[in-house]
Amino acid sequence: MPDNRSIGVFDSGIGGLTVVREIFRQAPDESVYYLGDTARYPYGGRSDDTIAIFGKQDARFLLEHDIKMLIVACNTVSSVALDAIKVIAKDIPVVGVVMPGCRAAVARSATRKVGIIGTRATIRAQSYTKGILAIDPDVAVYGRECPLFVPLVEEGLTDGEIPRLIAQHYLYELKDNGIDSLILGCTHYPFLFDVIQETMGSAIELIDSAVWTATEAAKLLKAMDALASPGRKGAEESKFFVTDLTQSFANNAARFLGQELSSLEAVGMERLTKY
């Protein structure tokens, strides 16, 4: 029986819209309920305790709505607090962005050497390393934090000399490890795809977590017999919420989503901090 409830998706900010874009592309019948915590973004440099508090507040906001699945579209929260969020989600299935990226990388690496780039908290948590080793303990994983990539994307500085120099600064050591796959462990990084590919060289495949997360979410819904009605216009039925609505967000959101947002509403911070 079709299940037309929405998929809840949250991120610290705008990056999770790249996951939503993939859902709309791969499963256009599905609608989403999106929350971006733009008043407290970015999470990637904060402590694990604070990331867990913020992530659980975001999750509870979405769980109060009638959703059929919760996607944690934030690599930082997925790395630090996914288990805690599964506890509060109870029967609602929770999908993070880390394991789909791990599975894709292990399946595609011939050299059995995989690179992972992400925020400071994501790399510190070693979530991708643990995830990959759980699938195949013979794969070597090399991580690197790239804290300036997120502000670069937010500023729209995604080509030219400045991002190229910063990419070289972060990535030159990773190139020498014999990796053949590099996981983009942050939903902002696909916007630097060309610069990262150029820096790493064409022999190294870049793996976009957003794509594989949408693929796994759709498979899971099918397995649970919880797909939406065929022919439904999911994007039009979707709703988008942010904790702080700025002009900069409005300018960037359509770029991240790949289309105009069907609706956009500001949520007062008191709605989140009451949890």
d(CA 54, CA 275): 10
Residue 264 in contact with a copy of itself, rule: CB under 8 A: no
Which one of residues 106, 152, 171, 192 is an interface residue with a copy of itself (CB under 8 A)? Answer: 152
Least CB distance to a copy of itself at residue 232 (A): 34
225 binds a copy of itself (CB under 8 A): no
List the one residue out of 183, 187, 184 whose CA is nearest residue 252.
187
DSSP 47-62: -HHHHHHHHHHHHHHH
Residue 264 neighbours by CB distance under 10 Å: 16
Question: Considering only residues 142, 148, 215, 237, which one is a binding residue for a copy of itself as defined by CB under 8 A?
Answer: 148
Q: How far is the CB of 166 from a copy of itself (least distance, A)?
A: 6
Active-site residue 186, yes or no? yes
Indicate the burial class of 180 (C-beta count within 10 angstroms; 0-12, 13-18, 19 or more).
middle
For residue 237, give both structure tokens.
């039925």
Closest CA to 62 of 21, 4, 8: 8
Contact 250, 231 (CB under 8 A): no
Of the candidates 74, 132, 167, 272, the residue annotated as catalytic is 74
Q: The sheet that has 181-184: what strands, in order across it?
A: 140-145, 113-118, 181-184, 205-208
Angle between the N-to-C axes of helices 193-200 and 161-171, in degrees from 0 to 180, rounded to the nearest 10: 50
Site residue total, a copy of itself (CB under 8 A): 30
**C-beta closer to a copy of itself: residue 88 or 133:** 88
146 is catalytic: no
For a copy of itself, which is the closer residue by CB, 22 or 145?
Answer: 145
Determine which one of 89, 186, 217, 261 is catalytic: 186
Rounded to whole angstroms, the Cα distance separating 164 from 167 reads: 5
Quote the least distance from Cβ 239 to a copy of itself, whole Å: 20
Q: Which is nearer to a copy of itself, 38 or 109 (CB)?
A: 38
Asked if 92 is part of the footprint of a copy of itself (rule: CB under 8 A), the reply reads no
- Binding flag, residue 251, a copy of itself (CB under 8 A): no
Complex with a copy of itself: residue 160 or 230, whichever CB lies closer: 160
Rounded least distance, CB 104 to a copy of itself, Å: 29
Residue 233 or 274: the one with the smaller Cβ distance to a copy of itself is: 274
Contact 78, 72 (CB under 8 A): yes
User: Which positions touch a copy of itself (CB under 8 A)?
Assistant: 38-40, 45-47, 49-50, 53, 120, 147-148, 151-152, 154-155, 157, 161-162, 165-166, 169, 243-246, 248, 269-270, 273
What is the set of active-site residues? 74, 186
